[in-house]
Structure 1
Amino acid sequence: MTPYGSIIIEIALPVLLMLGAERFAVYRFLRTPRQVAWVQNHWWLHPNAISRARYPMGFIAVLLLHLGYPRLCFLFFTFWMITDITDGDIARKCDLHTKDGESIDPFSDKLMYSPMLVYLSWLGWLNPFVVGFFLLFDITGQASRHFTKIKAANLFGKAKTFLVVVLLIVVGLEMIYGPIPALGRTIHPLLVVCAGLAFCSTAFKLIPNYWYANILSILNLVCGLAGCWVILAGHPPVYALGLVFLGQFLDLFDGRAAERWGSTPQGELFDDVADGTSFGLTVGLIAVTAFSQLWVGILIGLLYLGAVVYRLARFVIEKRKQGILGGVETFSGLPSPAGALLVGTACVLIPSELIVGSLVVLTSLLMISRIPYAHFGRAILPKVPKIVRVLVLGAFLFLLALGVRRDQYLVPLLFAFVAALTYLASPLFWHPKKATPPE
């Protein structure tokens, strides 16, 4: 049997069965008020009790690995990480959320994966310096909960925990089944990303809440400026597109950060300038490089950039006229992040200048149109089951890390291009309630 067949039978199926059993139990036994009351009256089912039960499990997993039981270690570790989903669901469904739980839960996660990271770096599977950098900021972030008002894990902390688990899964499969090129090349990029997320998670705990949205917008702006430099310096456009991807991720949350924690008077300006730079100027320059004749590329790029700028200006003007203070769930016209995703991936993937030019023109027209588009983050994403979101995000990040390691980006680019095309056609099967100004 091939290594991939063994992985499916010995690892993937047991993990899916555990996850399926956990999901079934949560949905089956937390449906009625009587069931919820029963859970509330049993201390060992309290989310904090489940989190505390994880405290020694990371050390036990390392002991199992050290004694020569890697498969048992893998399944044991996975089981206890699945309970991290369980305690969150119980806290929400049974109204058992506590202030202590905001510190206990992330601390239990750290005790789960930190011993394994240290042990694997000691064995030589992970770079000890990067692991040390990660743990330094991870420990600092946990300690900060004792003197800051923010106790719960932020977005960066949740993403960090998820990717650390993915990293340990990849290393575990390599240890059990030998070198697997498609997996092994992702280890170092994943570790570096985890270290970066640990830094961001800690930094955002020490910064005033009302600056969160501005920082996300400024980071988006930095991505856009860096993408422009990549193009002007003659580097492959795919690197600039990668920076646009990162900017889109940041842009997905800056509006909601402003709604939740407030912002400064300059917040809206930061957001507009960042979006215009990343999704307009950078992608416009990418479009210029897609054409053999410079004047054609400049013309197409200016057309696209003009559509983005017009769209952003129209949104601000009409939003102020209507007195809309928060975010919107429906846009008039294709949102600029979606337009940037479609145009950027098309310019990098498609060799035909005619097809690329047609897509750029179509995208520009859709952005300035009044066709209603649902907000991806507010209207579409919440309707997707959480487990599906996690699996899709994990698959995309894995493909992206693999592409970075091998400098081959075809698969993640196709993934993004299909997603952009699907969203472009979404008004055909998604009918928003009421159109509001474009973003």
Structure 2
Amino acid sequence: MFNIANNLTLARIAAVPIIVVLLYYPNKTTTFLALIFFIIASITDIFDGIIARRFNIVTNFGKFLDPLADKLLINSILIMLVWLGWVEAWIAVVIVGRETMVTGLRAIAADVGVVIAADKYGKMKTIMQMISLCPLILHYPLLGIDFVPLGTALLYIAVVLTIFSGINYLRRFFKDLHRAA
């Protein structure tokens, strides 16, 4: 259960309270440190899956924990950014709502023995959310450059992908559940 891939996932979860605390006291230094922790945590999302597949150490614990870690990381940061007034609340509601819906649908599907794996749209959504949050976490200009408009534009793209992947997941859920019945 505690192989290298799962430990990377656990490290991603452990980074969340550190990032939240750093954002709770926002200034140029703390937001920069929060950004560094967020980038490192996001990178673990890439490597935990690669390592698990390459070394054949994929576990049910890891299959459960990896998407949970992603949701915890992204949703926590979004909530903090809304609290700081740096992101509009409706964006967090759409993203957190989609994640809650997918988690619920996965539980229903699993209850009848159906596994609905993440697809390319869900992975694209997660990547775009992580990329868009970086300049928003930084918030303050770096080397005289304000990256917030870029982060905001990327976050809108992430919201579109979030909605699209949620609809796609819902469609697959009903199709796979109908097939299982």
Per the TM superposition, whether the score is higher than 0.5 is yes
| Matched-pair identity in % | 27
The residue number in structure 1 matching 2:79 is 118
The residue number in structure 1 matching 2:56 is 95
**Residues 185 and 118 from structure 1, CA distance in 2 versus in 1: closer, same or farther, beyond 3 angstroms?**
closer
Q: Could you list the runs of 5+ residues in structure 2 that have no partner in the other structure?
A: none
**Structure 1, residues 119-177: CA drift from partner, whole Å, max 9, x if none?**
11122222211210221111121232222122532222111110100110131344353
**Structure 1, residues 187-211: CA drift from partner, whole Å, max 9, x if none?**
5523432431452354145232499
The residue number in structure 2 matching 1:190 is 157
Q: Does 1:175 align with 2:140?
A: yes
Shift of 1:72: 0.7
1:83 alignment partner, one of 34, 44, 50: 44
The residue number in structure 1 matching 2:170 is 203
What code does the residue aligned with 2:8 have? I
Q: Does 1:54 align with 2:15?
A: no
**Moved segments of 4+, more than 3 Å:** 43-46, 173-182
Structure with bigger RCO (C-alpha 8 Å, 6+ apart): 2
What code does the residue aligned with 1:50 have? L
Matched residues in 2 for 1:103 and 1:200: separation? 22
**Residues 198 and 60 from structure 1, CA distance in 2 versus in 1: closer, same or farther, beyond 3 angstroms?**
farther
**Residues 123 and 105 from structure 1, CA distance in 2 versus in 1: closer, same or farther, beyond 3 angstroms?**
same
Shift of 1:102: 2.3
Shift of 1:66: 1.5
Contact persistence 2:94–2:159 (CA under 8 A): no
So what's the TM-score if we normalise by structure 2? Answer: 0.79
Which residues of 2 match residues 129-278 of structure 1 at below 5 A? 129-148=90-109, 149-177=114-142, 179-180=146-147, 183=150, 186-187=153-154, 189-200=156-167, 202-209=169-176
**Residues 123 and 106 from structure 1, CA distance in 2 versus in 1: closer, same or farther, beyond 3 angstroms?**
same
What code does the residue aligned with 1:97 have? V
SS at match of 1:145: helix
SS at match of 1:175: coil
Contact persistence 1:117–1:131 (CA under 8 A): yes
Contact persistence 1:137–1:202 (CA under 8 A): no
| Deviating more after overlay: 44-53 vs 155-164 | 44-53
What code does the residue aligned with 2:162 have? A
Shift of 1:97: 1.5
SS at match of 1:207: helix
SS at match of 2:131: helix
So what's the TM-score if we normalise by structure 1? Answer: 0.35
Shift of 1:89: 1.4
Matched residues in 2 for 1:181 and 1:117: separation? 14
Matched residues in 2 for 1:54 and 1:139: separation? 19
What code does the residue aligned with 1:139 have? T
What code does the residue aligned with 2:55 have? C
Contact persistence 2:8–2:44 (CA under 8 A): yes
**Residues 181 and 111 from structure 1, CA distance in 2 versus in 1: closer, same or farther, beyond 3 angstroms?**
closer
The residue number in structure 2 matching 1:376 is none
Q: RMSD over aligned Cα, in angstroms? A: 2.7
